[in-house]
Amino acid sequence: MGLTTFVSTLAQIAAPHVVGALTYHRSTRSEWQIVFFLAAGIYAVSAIFFTIFGSGDLQSWAGMPGVHDTTVQQQLYGDTVNHQLEEI
């Protein structure tokens, strides 16, 4: 978590400087297109990286001891769903 925060803070500091360097001369449409495509490329690479290597699974270290898992049906309808399923 700390590493992620560090990298995002560096990006927030560097972004205005990069935009200023890319649009320094006249701030034309073509210079702003470069900024847009650079940002779009960063987002696309990040999305592809997460698609390949990322996961939405709950990690073993993220569990909370003493808290049991519940399904969406249990949260919405209570234990009546379990009793109905056991009868079938």
Domain enclosing residue 16, as ranges: 1-57
- Helix/strand/coil (H, E, C) string of the chain? CHHHHHHHHHHHHHHHHHHHHHCCCCCCHHHHHHHHHHHHHHHHHHHHHHHHHCCCCCCHHHCCCCCCCCCHHHHHHCCHHHHHHHHC
The string of pLDDT tens digits covering residues 40-78 is 999 999 999 999 998 888 777 777 776 666 666 666 777
| pTM score over 0.85 | no
Q: Is residue 77 part of a domain?
A: no
Q: Is residue 28 part of a domain?
A: yes
The string of pLDDT tens digits covering residues 11-23 is 999 999 999 999 9
Instruction: Please give the tally of structural domains in the chain.
Output: 1
